[in-house]
Amino acid sequence: MVDYLLDNYPDFWNFLEFFCVADCCGLDAFRFYPADIIKASNEVDKVSLKEDLVKLKIDLDKSDKSIIISSRLNNLVDKSVFIELLNHIIKYL
């Protein structure tokens, strides 16, 4: 479960819920274009968000779990795919 850090930034994730809501469509509800990440990060403490996402990546790397579960994102996703998503988001913060 990764929500222990994601839940700290509801405005960021809410802004990225563009196509639908996560409760309905999971990750397909989100738009992760660079410009959207940049705009969404203006709604939160960028430094803290970046630090927490890097921490989450480290925690995931140490984990023996191969599937990542998120209630916030309403998704089960392969760990390597989720880490790539984190890398993409971190790049544009």
Of all residues in the chain, what percent carry a pLDDT higher than 70?
Answer: 100
Confidence at residue 43, expressed as pLDDT on a 0 to 100 scale: 83
- Reference 92, options 57, 52, 46, 59; nearest CA is 46
User: How much is the average pLDDT of 24-40?
Assistant: 97
Q: What is the pTM for the complete model shown?
A: 0.93
Residue 15: CA count within 13 A, CB half-sphere: 17
Work out the mean pLDDT of the chain and round it to a whole number.
96
pLDDT at 45 over 90: yes
Alpha carbon distance, N-terminus to C-terminus of the chain: 23
Residue whose token pair is 């405005």: 11
Nearest to 88 by CA among 37, 14, 42: 37
Residue 14 confidence (pLDDT) above 90:
yes
CB within 8 Å of 44: residues ≥ 6 apart? 9, 11, 12
In this prediction, residue 42 carries a pLDDT of: 93
| pLDDT tens-digit map of 49-84 | 999 999 999 999 999 999 999 999 999 999 999 999
Reading the block at residue 74, the tokens are 């309403």
